[in-house]
Structure 1
Amino acid sequence: MNCIHCVFHVAGLLAAFAYEDISYKKFAIQSHTSTSANSEASNAVDGNIATCMRTGDIGSTSNHKTVWWKVDLGRVYNIYSISIHFKNYDGYRCKNASVYGSNCDTPCPTNCKENTCHMQNGTCFACKPGWTGTYCNTKCGKGWYGVNCSQHCVGHCKYNMSCNHATGQCDKGCASGWTGTTCNKECTDGTYGHNCVKNCSGHCLNDSPCNKQTGHCNGGCSPGYTNGDCSKEDISYKKVATQSPTSTSVNSEARNAVDGNIATCMRTGDIGSTSNHKTVWWKVDLGRVYNIYSINIQFKNYDGYRCKNASVYGSNCDTPCPTNCKENTCHIQNGTCFTCKPGWTGTYCNTKCGKGWYGVNCSQHCVGHCKYNMSCNHATGQCDEGCASGWTGTTCNKECTDGTYGHNCVNNCSGHCLSGSPCNKQTGYCDGGCSPGYTNGDCSKEPFNNNKPNPSDTGAVTVGGTVGSSVIVVIGVILAFLAIRLKRKSTNMAKRQSLMMETKPIDKEKPNTGLSNIQSCGSNTNDIEETTYALPEKTKRGPPTNKNIAVRNMKAQITNMSLNENAGFKSEYHDTKERRTYIATQGPKPKTIADFWTMIWQEEVCNIVCLTNLTEGTKNKCAQYWPDINDKLQGGTLTVRHLEEKTYAEYIFRRFKIHNKSTRTDRQVTMFHFTTWSDHGVADPLSLVVFHRHVIRATANSSGKYTVVHCSAGVGRTGTYIALDALYREGERTGKINVPMYVRTMRKDRMNMIQGDDQYRLVYLALRDAFSGRSKCLKTEKFLSYYQEHSCYTNCGDVEQKKLYSSDLEELLSLRKEYTQQDYISGRAQISANYSESVFPVEEFLCHLSYIKGHNTYYNAVLLQSFLEKDSLISAQYPLPDNTEDFLRLIKDFDARVVVFLCPLKDIESTSIWYPSSEGQTKFDGMFYIKNLSSTKAANVTINRLNIQPTGFNQMDITVLECPKWREKQKTSDKRILLDVIKAVKTEKTNEKGRVLVLSSDGATRCGPFFVVYNVLEQISVDREVDIFTAVRQIQIRRPECVSTVEEYQLCYDAVAEYLLNDCVYGNC
């Protein structure tokens, strides 16, 4: 190396986030200076990258054998970093070498052309054929090859594979019918097959060439040859033939059967009662003995006498015609139908009409509205199961008359709808409300009138008084008895109502072998959810003791349980010295807050799990026992300061510092507050599991002695969570769990732990979700390593290669919740209002529009939650031409301030109806007045600001984003487009309140990757973690069709990786 062109910067620590160049303009010297102009040692520290120090040459031709450069910093420093800057040219250093960097010791990227790269940053000047990108690390896309991936594959490769990304050749050979280096040359006449290595038989009719893919003679065989490729010789061809008797018809000789001409035939004379001939025969003399391969009889091409008007065909007229041939008649030779019966099609009439079609030749379209969204009968067009709600008639194409509703319109409305309006023809409900004095959805109930005299009132009071007196006496006796018993009890009782329960902590070093196959037994998710669950105490003899649930078989075990769910479990709870202890307690009341924090301090608690809100409905459930953020709470010797708070969609994490004045010591306590679980109700199983996993990760290194768990009363929700946590840890440790036995264990110490069958059922469902679909949560830096290891998820030239992403997706699809027909009742009742018949909204999450007379309340849209906000997102389909006003109502009713179209607006048929395309333009659509305020175009996103004014309501400003480069016919998007539109949405959300409405053709395709990446970016910003797998699972709970292809799942990974590599601000990722 004969020169060093650099600026040498030595940086020392100046402040927390800034560093000083302590070498700047200090005294510098070097071993010997180059004779080139302006190469002094001081140039390296003058702060100007345009000037450089440079030494003289060293080596065999120089007197100098070493080289050095020094700078005197003036005093001793703690050096933070040394930064070397190179002059901006590619002159001498590392020239023609396959290395780069300050010491020329880093190899250039493998796929740089001639293995040369930029001496400073290692970027390639050019790539080897088949590669592209700054570092030539991106393989050419499918169908492209060569230098800069600029050449299109033109050949026909075997198995329909793409050509080699570097050479353009077909690595596995050519497809049938093609040859050449790149398989772009068709086989020459007389050859066929892969690479054209096979020869035709040479016996095709009229010496025509055989098919170059199959070798068959498409035009038939030369006389004397048969088989598809005419390779088999007809040994009877033009041999001597005789018959008896011969027909008197012209040209019916025996030789016609072996002349190779299907237009001529042999024919015998008549036989039977009116003929002298009682038998018939035909013979051919082959000339010698042969081993016969087959005998092929061909019929003359007319339908004259044989099998005439019979429902049979074939050489012996003994094969029945296909069942669905019209009038049971078919071709006498091959059995093909002349015409099909209604409802069938195909050569043999064995293909049923496709969904939505019926009749002769399947030419008529179903016009009715059948029950359960079934298609009409393929033959008659009628609805076999009856009409859908709101329809009647032979083909269910007549809407119910006013005053009737339901399937086939057999139900009568109550007649009590407000203003005499008809009831809903599907449900019977009075959508506009009830007439005065009536209630219920269908206005069929008359409210109870407390003012009416009741002739039995006096009797009721007398009986009530008598019974009441008896009850009081009984209660008095019981209380006296209990008082005596209590005196005999030991007085050494805890002053607070708490419970300690124990289980084994997770062994973080132990692999989860054998615990991930919960779904491997072939049962679907609904099997578990349809099982009846009864608490152990509700059975006569308690849980049996002959069997545990193996975690890997848990789903099958639950599915096969009888109505008495305890039939099949064994008592075997593993207790060890390494115990994790819970304190189960009721929610603090205002008077017990000080006692609560005293307990937290005394019991060395570092973690609190809160499962209740402060108020639920009109009832107070728990006092706010913590101070507001950055505030403090004082009581006795303890001071509690609120340090930090993180709010998620379904839970809140808070961090406190407790200071004890007496001991002058501090302790930090973390509170995990699950906010979406009502008292006596049930949480969503997956949501509870996601919260539980987050708690486990956050407390993995906790030093606390106990974990406090509480709800309001400290029994129902508290017991459910403790059971989940304890049994999950037990399953991780031993591979098996025993739910009934653990519940009994808890209830020995505290009665009523887990209240009701629904909460008991939740334990099973949550454990199922915890052991299946394991969390794939990674820190951001580990995610990038994981992504780079699996980035080649596509076939990469090997059709048998299967990567992890496709395996993940298969697992996700197997875990999707399966809904019933009833769960899609609104969508199925409004078929014409859906873009697609394959994606309907789940009823529980459907966005019901407000009632307006004469308008529908249905739109194909569902509420979703982001990572940080509950129900803040909406997934919807594009507006149909007849439903644009309903689309605008959706925006108004659900306060959607940001509306995202994942395609160009011009690609949607209905856009011209409601959207004013230029600034200042206005449109009227039903009750809405829409004005375009401004439009801004960026590379991948167009931002349109609109004002909409609904008649009789306040106006609202909205932002409409569209993706002009993501055309509707494209299956997937470039990750850059997806990230740019999400970035634009987040910018708008910062300035606007309200929900984000995202639309695609069916509300699932395209929407899925958007919501997953949107949520994961929020996860990165708050926790610096990535869990795409769980994000997809949560979206699929509400929109099961989201992210249902490998391409969309891969797009999620690509977009998140792109964000972390290029978009993420340092310190936030």
Structure 2
Amino acid sequence: MFENNVYRRLYGWPIPFYYNNTRVFIAFAYDDLSKGKVATQSTTHPSTWMWLYKANYAVDRTITTCMRAKPIGKSSEYKTVWWEVDLGGEYHVYSVNILFKNYGGEENRQRGRFAGFSLYVSSNGSRDNSSLCYKDGPDLPPLNFTTTCITFGRYVTFYNERLDAVIYPKEYEVSDVVSELCEVIVKGCKTSGVYGENCDIRCPTNCKYNTCHIQTGACFGCKPGWMRLRCDIGCINGWYGANCEQQCSGHCRDNISCNHVTGQCDGGCVAGWRGAICDKECRNWTYGNNCVHNCSGNCLNDSTCNKQTGHCDRGCKPGYTNALCNERCFSGYFGNECEQTCSGHCLENRTCDRIDGTCSDGCQDGYMGKLCNDSCKVGYYGRNCSCVCPSYCKSCKPTDGTCTCYAGWMGPNCSIGCVWSYGEDCQYPCSKYCVDQTCNRFNGRCLSGCDSGYYGPKCDQKSASTSFFASKLSTVSSGILGVVVSTCVYGTTTVVIIIIRRKKSSVSSKNRSITKVSPYGEMENQQSGDSTYEELSL
């Protein structure tokens, strides 16, 4: 009973039977993967009945029938032998149990023939180091051999050899080595994604390929984004993928870590980046979160905008302004950064071109040039400065040709000669002392002379003698008037006295009065003599 419990713990429910007087237990704790499957072998030992030693006898679960191959070794034609079973699909293998043929009293010989074998489990029947499950030696194996071989595969291969050039342990049989396998029992789970003795426990969800250790349930590897033995913990922040060995791009929006499985930025990319994992910069002329915005196309020298902000870091093309260069210049401004002012002289007060400041429809009267910021040259005016100023204009207004006239002319176009005036634009009147108030219209000289008492080219100067005579005449006139009055008073008095005296006096008095000097006579003498005043010619 105790022995059965031991086998039960090791193999599940054991089934004991006797093989050549030896008690044999076949464990059925895991699924039997090889029972009744197709088997092949390198050679088949000859017999009267060809079916007696065929390869399938090793998987028929009848221990009285065994496969047998032709002998190998020094005295044999063959040096190697192999037997293989196709499980019919790739399964999770736990162990391989081989019952090697035993003959009574020949156990050591049989063990010596069995010794040195190899077991391979593969997906394609290959026999290389990657598929090697077990290599026997140097001790002799038991004839009921079991080895744990936890792996995945479809083909289980038994292989042995006795090469001439190799020296084998002395216990090994090296001549007439016959391989006889009575049963090969491959244990494992037929159902994928399970583990445990009864193959009824699901592997952890995040095991790679949904497979795990057939005993413990530990994952052989994790699905991308998971780690630890049972793949139940996600990658730490900033890492993702298989074995959590890949680093996030660092460009996820809001500094959120990427998806620990795919590396994708589930919330999108920060400005300037694109792609599922935000590892690609925005293409030229795009910007912003996930690069969904287009640049304005107005950056200087057709350069692309900043892929994060959309700003034109080098500035704008002429005619555009603000950080994105997506606003045109305000009316009246043009050029780089819209810092230049239009001339203000475009035709009909239209605004200039926002890029180069040109007036596409032409200039206002009096201006020319692409920018309409050049006044007409001297002597020209009007639309495109195509009109010639009148010949008597000293200068004309470039807008409408209004003149400032040369001396002697007046009028809008300086075509009218001055009348009773002279100088530029006839702005000065002729002197009122010019005879007939006429003068030379260019310089103001009186043409017919001056009125009496004035002289000079423009008759604007008084004669000096006339001024002196007038002053003296006033003084003399006052004196004469006084003398006349006094004389008259005196004369009147004298006449009265004479009349009285004549009445009283004699003829002698008359004679005395004749010898006396008469005041009137004195005046007459003065009048007949030379005057102290000069005659004034007017």
Q: TM-score range by the shorter chain?
A: 0.3 to 0.5
- TM-score where L is the length of structure 1: 0.17
Bigger relative contact order, structure 1 or 2, given CA contacts below 8 A and separation 6+?
A: 2
| Higher strand content, 1 or 2 | 2
- TM-score where L is the length of structure 2: 0.32
Structure with max Cα Rg: 2
| Higher helix content, 1 or 2 | 1
